[in-house]
Structure 1
Amino acid sequence: MRPSSPSTDVSEDPPERGSAPLEFILVGLLMLVPIVYLIVALGLIQSQALGAKAGARHLARTVATAGGVADADRRAERVLESVTTEYGLDPSTVAVDVECSPAGGACPRAGAMLHVTISTRVSLPLVPPVLGLERIASIPIEASAVQKVSRTWGDGT
């Protein structure tokens, strides 16, 4: 009988030896890529949602504290431009809706509750603008804010 030494006998090595690192790398990459994409997409959506919320809040405050209609329009345009620049919102997808309650009459008006809603869409990253895919692969974002308009609004004070 011949003594066998573990270092010289290669016939007893398992056939799967050395494939665990390869499997770990392959499975790791297959799981890591979607997780990284999800993190990037959620970060982009959160950033746009914060921008829409900040825009609605600042627009409501700006219009409610303006001296009149012309002043409110001018200030609202500057605030909206500033918010879209700061948060990276696409100006072509931003829609602003201003309503007053109770309904009826001019909006904004003295003593009314001003409801400002900003709507936008966030395109998912790495989606090519081919065949309208960027419109299909986009998330709608909407934020609103309410502000009480001063009773002295529009009288020049």
Structure 2
Amino acid sequence: MLLWSRSRKVAEPRRPTSGRGSLGGDEGSAALEFIGLGVVLLVPLVYLVLALGAIQGQLLGVESAARHGARTMSSASDERDAAARADATVQSAIEEYGMDPGSVQVTIRCAPEGAGCPSAGATVVVTVTTKVALPLVPSVFGLDRIGTVPVQASSAYKVSRTWTGG
């Protein structure tokens, strides 16, 4: 009994010979897909890094202004010196971090309410608020006003109970 014969040929599957007229012409599309997806994914990622960098830079500035303003005010020798030192410290931080002086709001208060600012045993609280403009937002149709992120920082320092106020 003969199971197979040498003269019998098995038909091989047909392979497309060129991209034309065939179903699977993928030559050169990987580079195009890489460029397309790269732009779609990379541009928003770069913008996100720029926006977060701008926000973080201004946030560090407001935090520094609040912290150092409260610290210098709580360690001043008298009330006039305290206000002048706090104002100078906050203005220095505004300039150092490149904040817009017109958009920065500074609030200074002392607790408990009704106490002189500063007074022995009181707590000086300095709050600094500003708005960060997002990068590359045009001023068309008021988008520059909408494209801002508010940042705020507060700091509290206790004035020494032995403070005499000059």
TM-score range, shorter chain: 0.7 to 0.9
The one-letter amino acid paired with 1:30 is: V
Number of the residue aligned with 2:96: 86
| 1:103/1:134 CA distance change after superposition, 3 Å | same
The one-letter amino acid paired with 1:104 is: G
Once residues 135 and 27 of structure 1 are traced to their aligned partners in structure 2, the CA distance between those partners, rounded to angstroms, is 32
The one-letter amino acid paired with 1:82 is: S
SS of structure 1 residue aligned to 2:132: strand
1:133 equivalenced with 2:143 (yes/no): yes
- Paired residues, number: 149
1:149 equivalenced with 2:159 (yes/no): yes
SS of structure 2 residue aligned to 1:21: helix
In the TM superposition, what is the alpha-carbon distance from 1:154 to its structure 2 partner? 5.3
Once residues 136 and 22 of structure 1 are traced to their aligned partners in structure 2, the CA distance between those partners, rounded to angstroms, is 36
Once residues 139 and 66 of structure 1 are traced to their aligned partners in structure 2, the CA distance between those partners, rounded to angstroms, is 33
Once residues 165 and 52 of structure 2 are traced to their aligned partners in structure 1, the CA distance between those partners, rounded to angstroms, is 45
Which among 43, 48, 54 is matched to residue 58 of structure 2?
Answer: 48
Output aligned runs, 1:1-157, within 5 Å.
9-10=17-18, 14-153=24-163, 155-156=165-166
Once residues 141 and 153 of structure 1 are traced to their aligned partners in structure 2, the CA distance between those partners, rounded to angstroms, is 33
Identity of aligned residues (%): 49
Once residues 136 and 153 of structure 1 are traced to their aligned partners in structure 2, the CA distance between those partners, rounded to angstroms, is 46
- Unaligned runs of 5+ residues in structure 1 are 1-5
The one-letter amino acid paired with 1:105 is: A
The one-letter amino acid paired with 1:100 is: C
Give the CA RMSD over aligned residues.
1.9
Residues 62-117 of structure 1: per-residue CA shift (max 9 Å, x gap): 11111122212221222112101211211111111111111113322222011111
Which has the larger Rg?
A: 2
In the TM superposition, what is the alpha-carbon distance from 1:36 to its structure 2 partner? 0.4
In the TM superposition, what is the alpha-carbon distance from 1:127 to its structure 2 partner? 0.7
SS of structure 2 residue aligned to 1:40: helix
Once residues 63 and 45 of structure 1 are traced to their aligned partners in structure 2, the CA distance between those partners, rounded to angstroms, is 27
In the TM superposition, what is the alpha-carbon distance from 1:16 to its structure 2 partner? 3.2
